[in-house]
Amino acid sequence: MPLYEYRCGDCQKISSVLVRSVSEDTKDLQPSCDHCQGTDMHRLISKFSFRASWGDSLNWVPSGETSRDVNEDSPASIDSYMGRIKKEMGGQTSPDFNRERRDLKNP
């Protein structure tokens, strides 16, 4: 199911439209703005993302740039480091990882 983005010609805000079927003809699609309900919508070229499988993330190691400025004596520095790791892993972390971050913030 593709997700298309449109910019409203009236309010200039962006709305997303989920197309329920790949076979659905998007030329006939007449979306309305989620913000002002305008119909002067212009389709945008959207970014796409690629997420590696969980197995691929098991072979991942943090980059040198990620770990270079960590102060091991500072809970805030360690939490920031863990946040960068989470971002580099595409946001896929375990409940234990998230619990450890919470514990760092609330000793």
Token pair recorded at residue 62: 């943090």
Cβ contact 62:85 at 8 Å: yes
* Edge-to-edge strand ranges of the sheet holding 3-8: 14-18, 3-8, 41-43
Domain layout of the chain by residue ranges? 3-43, 54-105
For the record, the structure tokens of 56 come out as 């691929």
CB 70 within 8 A of CB 78: yes
In one-letter notation, the amino acid at residue 66 is: T
| pLDDT tens-place string over residues 68-106 | 778 888 888 888 888 887 887 777 778 888 888 888 888
pLDDT reading at 5 higher than 90: no
State the pLDDT at residue 22.
59
Residue pointed to by tokens 């969980």? 54
Give the position of tokens 């076979």. Answer: 23
Q: Is 84 within 8 Å of 63 (Cβ atoms)?
A: no
pLDDT of 8-51, one tens digit each? 999 999 888 877 665 555 566 788 999 999 999 998 876 665 55
